[in-house]
Amino acid sequence: MKIGDLNINNPILLAPMAGVTDYPFRILCKEMGAAIVYSEFVSADGIIRENSKTLDLIRFEDEERPIGVQIFGGDANIMRDAARYVADAFKPDIIDINYGCPVPKVTKKGAGSAALQDLCLMDDITAAVVEAVPEIPVTVKMRAGWNNDSIVVPEVGKRLEEIGVQAITLHPRTTKQRYTGKAEWKYIRQLKESCSIPIIGNGDVCTTNDMLQMFEDTGCDAVMIGRAAQGNPWFFRKAIAVLNGKPMPDPPSLLDIANTCKRHFELLLENRGEHTGSNMMRKHFSNYIKGFPGAAKFRQSLVTAPDLNAMNDALSEFILAAENTDHDLISS
């Protein structure tokens, strides 16, 4: 697959996820084979104001390439200026426009999936970004529509392709669905049949079997993995083997999981500082530590640890237990 002039070595991508896809998580997934990783979605307003917390979300290392930076906003001029700023200051491989976020605090400002209610605004924003960064492929991540009565696929696909978008990721839920109900993969197929640019499917891919089914049902060019990768960066390694007809890699042992927790934690502390890093790691511990005897006890002690020292002690206890246990856990 190619996105613009960018060669993609496999069709399994890591989805941008707010509060999740920071550098520590991205690098773990990249090492396991994710073909493209994305930043958390970043406010165009924050970018042009040069807000330090906003800019910190964009920073990446060359070892993460190819990487996309995802931006959101409801004003074409601000989105244009933000895209140009990102291109000049960070030089990502892709700039992705978020037309998919359904969270009210975003949509009330006309950003995210709110653009699905005003396709002329979507055209204006998209054209402004494409024109601002001619040297970088611009892609879009979107939902199927605002609600079931206003599905915009495949009309939007044709419009975005004509404007110059190089690939589209579709999460085929509506804004009103948020993250509930079923992702209607039929809309991915409709989008694929209406466009000649790469179409990336996203939504309800929990296992490698789901991934294979999405490829078969929709004809999409790539699959973007979100929640299935949380606590399970090994998903990418298994997915690539399945796609290529290679022998199945051994599932991670309990010690693999414990050591990955430790590395993830260390990266977060280095990247985000002790206070923020330890607080952010609590949700990751919840995702990693499950599905084996005694998991609840270890998870509880790590998630509720009152300070960094207590968290390190609890993690050491988990690693010690893992060294003395032989469990293969990840089966999908």
Digit-coded pLDDT (tens) for 85-131: 999 999 999 999 999 999 999 999 899 999 999 999 999 999 999 99
Q: What is the pLDDT of residue 324?
A: 85
Q: Considering the domain 2-244 in this protein, what is its CATH number? A: 3.20.20.70
Tokens (6 digits) for 45: 């307003």
pLDDT at residue 327, as a whole number: 45
- pLDDT recorded at residue 179: 87
- Write down the catalytic residue from 101, 195, 220, 261: 101
Tell me, what's the pLDDT at 293? 86
Res 326: pLDDT: 54
Residue 195 known to be catalytic:
no
Comparing 2-244 with 254-323, is the CATH topology the same? no
Three-state secondary structure along 58-114? HCCCHHHCCEEEEEECCCHHHHHHHHHHHHHHHCCCEEEEEECCCCHHHHCCCCHHH
What pLDDT sits at residue 290? Answer: 93
131/138 Cα distance (integer angstroms): 10
Peptide bond into 66 cis (omega under 30): yes
Domain positions in the chain are: 2-244, 254-323
Give domain 254-323's CATH architecture.
Orthogonal Bundle (1.10)
Q: Model pTM?
A: 0.94
Q: What is the pLDDT of residue 328?
A: 44
Exposed/middle/buried for 96, CB within 10 Å: 0-12, 13-18, 19+? buried
Q: Which stretches in the chain have pLDDT values below 70? A: 326-332
In the numeric block, the tokens 């992702």 are attached to: 183
Taking Cα atoms as reference points, which of 123, 127, 42 lies closest to residue 89?
42
Per-residue pLDDT at 163: 98
The helix or strand, by DSSP H or E, that contains position 34, with its residue range, turns out to be: none
At residue 11, the pLDDT reads 98
